[in-house]
Amino acid sequence: MFTQVKELYASLGVDVELALAAMAKTPISLHCWQGDDVVGFETGAGALGSGLAVTGNYPGKARSIDELRQDLEQVLSLLPGAHRLNLHAIYGDFGGEAVDRDAIELKHFQGWIDWAKQQGIGMDFNPSNFSHPLADDGLTLSSPDEGKRDFWIEHCKRSRKIAAAMGEQLGSAAVTNVWIPDGMKDMPADRQSYRQRLSDSLDEVFSEKLDTAHNIDAVECKLFGIGSESMVVGSHEFYMGYAMKNQTALCLDAGHFHPTEGIADKISSVLMYVPELLLHVSRGVRWDSDHVVLFDDQTQQIMQELVRCDALPRTHIGLDFFDASINRIAAWAIGTRAAQKSLLLALLEPREKLRAAELSGDYTTRLALLEQAKSLPWSVVWEEFCKRNNVPGEMALLDSVKSYEASVLSGRH
Ligand code: RNT
Ligand code: ZN
């Protein structure tokens, strides 16, 4: 069947093997925080805060680094293609010691780097400016309190250096993404001062030049959060301006805009002026920005734009969702595979035909081709991709998840 499908696509000017080769070399960065509901491994780790909320109490959550690695290995065994690990600073190996955020060191992450090397994957990193007593008032890098600002600046500086070491050791640059929760529940009287302080703090964080072969800096905006409904200091305009001026990467999280606003259309604009893009592929539902990614219009449009703009070489694809109301391994695998299926569909688009129709003003043909592409047998190509990578196809995925639940997760109490 695959051979026939290949011929069908060839008749439309699409080279299926080229699409599969592109799939194989496009890594998706797996966010570690789906595995344990964004808790991490700090000694005495407390409740999730700073506007981040996880719903659900599905049994089997990873309670230790070993369990999280075991789960990640399981997830990796369910995913075709290339992957990376995206780690938050709170997931270090602190050996039972109380290591505050302004004291993290490379040694706390060496175990993760060694594990990643063993898995043959790269890593990405994030300072964790949330769920901490010094973030409880909702302000970190933009705080009017100099002591608090300095604490979070130090945390971010150390995070970049740790990430650079990860990148160097693994031979693949780590993207360090700065997201902060800073904002106001109610109307601020002086928005400007927060933004000025954030800009100054970021300048300080990024003041040490690091080799971009090892570390790539990214900044992530948000429209509103829980508890920051009236103002988010790091808004889209703020970070787009900052990233353009300082030529950092810009992170677009699919759940961080107005509920009807997608990020797909932003890609071609933003890449005119910033060197690189980081995506947090996610799914916003009303006020929550982090539902499990689906093979839906939004995700497909994002991937279409990456392919159509030839933006893959300048884009780092990461994920950002967390759901504790279902099996966490399933959430990870289903969400990541949905992003990958969307990318595959985009790569299988009859691009040349679409462009030719558009250029000649034949929008009727363009619309017809787009509709036709949706019902072409792309899923046969997906199954082939899974088969070549020795991972379960769509029909076998759930069984794999359930058997891991029965043999491993159900024993965690
Ligand atoms: C929060 C941001 C951020 C976090 C993670 C945990 O709204 O999306 O990316 O989800 O860093
Ligand atoms: Zn995000």
Q: Which CATH architecture has domain 26-350?
A: Alpha-Beta Barrel (3.20)
Atom of ligand 1 nearest to the CA of 322: 10
Distance between CA 100 and CA 155 in Å, rounded?
Answer: 9
CA of 290 to the centre of ligand 1 (A): 8
Quote the CA–CA distance of 90 and 83 in Å, as a whole number: 21
Residue given tokens 């592109």 in the structure block: 22
Residues 6 or more apart whose CB falls under 8 angstroms from that of 116 comprise 85, 122, 123, 166, 170
Told to judge if 253 belongs to the known catalytic residues of this protein, a careful annotator would answer yes
Q: Looking at residue 337, what is its pLDDT?
A: 98
pTM above 0.95, yes or no: yes
In this predicted structure, the answer to whether residue 49 has a pLDDT above a threshold of 90 is: no
The alpha carbon of 183 and the centre of ligand 1 are apart by a number of angstroms equal to 14
Q: Please report, rounded to a whole number, the percentage of residues in the chain having pLDDT higher than 90.
A: 97
Examine the pLDDT at 207 and tell me if it is beyond 90: yes
Residue nearest ligand 1's atom 2 by CA:
179
- Residue 220 a catalytic site member: yes
72: left (phi over 0), alpha (psi -120 to 50) or beta: alpha
Does residue 220 have its Cβ closer than 6 Å to ligand 1? yes
- Minimum-distance ligand 1 atom for the alpha carbon of 51: 7
Catalytic site residue from 33, 179, 332, 382: 179
Per-residue pLDDT tens digits for 228-266: 999 999 999 999 999 999 999 999 999 999 999 999 999
Ligand 1 atom nearest to CA at 255: 8
pLDDT at 52 > cutoff 90 = no
The model's pLDDT over 299-318, given as tens digits with 9 standing for 90+, comes to 999 999 999 999 999 999 99
Domains of the chain by residue range: 26-350
Is the pLDDT at 46 greater than 80? The verdict is no
Q: Check whether 324 has a pLDDT greater than 80.
A: yes
Q: Is the predicted pLDDT of residue 44 greater than 90, yes or no?
A: no
Whether 352 shows a pLDDT value over 90: the answer reads yes
| Residue 351: closest CA among 86, 39, 12 | 12
Residue 45 pLDDT class (50, 70, 90 cuts): confident
Pairwise CA distance, residues 31 & 71, whole Å: 12
* Mean pLDDT across 314-342: 98
The predicted model gives 17-36 an average pLDDT of 98
Is 155 catalytic? The answer is no
| pLDDT range class, residue 271, cuts 50, 70, 90 | very high
pLDDT of amino acid 240: 98
Read off the pLDDT of residues 150-194 as tens digits, 9 standing for 90 and up: 999 999 999 999 999 999 999 999 999 999 999 999 999 999 999
3-state secondary structure (DSSP) of residue 356: helix
Give the pLDDT mean for 126-155. Answer: 98
pLDDT digits (tens, 9 = 90+) for 73-90: 999 999 999 999 999 999
Known catalytic residue at 387: no
pLDDT at site 50: 85
222 touches ligand 1 (CB under 6 Å): yes
pLDDT band at 198 (very low <50, low <70, confident <90, very high): very high
177 burial (CB, 10 Å; 0-12 / 13-18 / 19+) is buried
Q: How many whole angstroms from 261 Cα to the centroid of ligand 2?
A: 16
The SS3 call for residue 305 is helix
256 is catalytic: yes
**Which residues are bridge partners to 29 per DSSP?**
84, 318
Average pLDDT, the chain: 97
Q: How far is CA 237 from CA 204, 232, 243, 284, 347, in A?
A: 20, 11, 10, 20, 31
